[in-house]
């Protein structure tokens, strides 16, 4: 009788241990996935903030420059600041971030932005 109880215990453990290990691996995988998503979200927010700063900086410092020159300066400034902070950013991503920041400012300031640089009547 004792041998049967031991054999049943071994059989139960043979099923439970792999199931528990699989469950543990799944929990770890989900935790790491969530952490990676949070890390990506923080990086994106940082990049967006830098792009907004780049546009504001260029608008302040290069008031007399043309649109494309300002855009190029903003790209350069954004890339340099991202590099300083160890943030990887591609040229296409930088362009997209600058365009998005510019759109955000234009939408926020509306008419004021449109009349910026125009002589007062």
Helix 2-61, helix 91-114: angle, nearest 10: 50
Look at residues 105, 97, 111 and name the one whose alpha carbon lies nearest to residue 59: 105
- The radius of gyration computed from the CA coordinates of the chain, to the nearest angstrom, equals 28
| Whether the Cβ atoms of residue 15 and residue 59 lie closer than 8 Å to each other | no
pTM: 0.64
Residue 59 predicted with pLDDT over 50:
yes
> What's the pLDDT band for 121 if we cut at 50, 70, 90?
very low
> What's the pLDDT band for 52 if we cut at 50, 70, 90?
very high
Residue 106 predicted with pLDDT over 90:
no
| Whether the Cβ atoms of residue 81 and residue 53 lie closer than 8 Å to each other | yes
| Dist. CA 71–CA 41, nearest whole Å | 25
Q: Kindly report the average pLDDT of the chain as a whole number.
A: 82
């Amino acid at each position: 009788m004792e041998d049967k109880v031991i054999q049943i215990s071994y059989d139960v453990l043979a099923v439970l241990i792999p199931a528990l290990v699989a469950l543990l691996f799944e929990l770890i995988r989900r935790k790491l996935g969530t952490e990676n998503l949070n890390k990506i979200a923080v990086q994106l927010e940082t990049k967006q903030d830098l792009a907004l700063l780049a546009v504001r900086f260029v608008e302040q410092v290069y008031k007399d420059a043309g649109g494309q020159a300002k855009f190029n300066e903003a790209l350069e400034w954004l890339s340099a600041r991202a590099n300083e902070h160890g943030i990887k950013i591609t040229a296409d991503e930088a362009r997209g971030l600058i365009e998005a920041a510019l759109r955000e400012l234009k939408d926020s300031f509306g008419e004021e932005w449109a009349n910026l640089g125009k002589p007062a009547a």
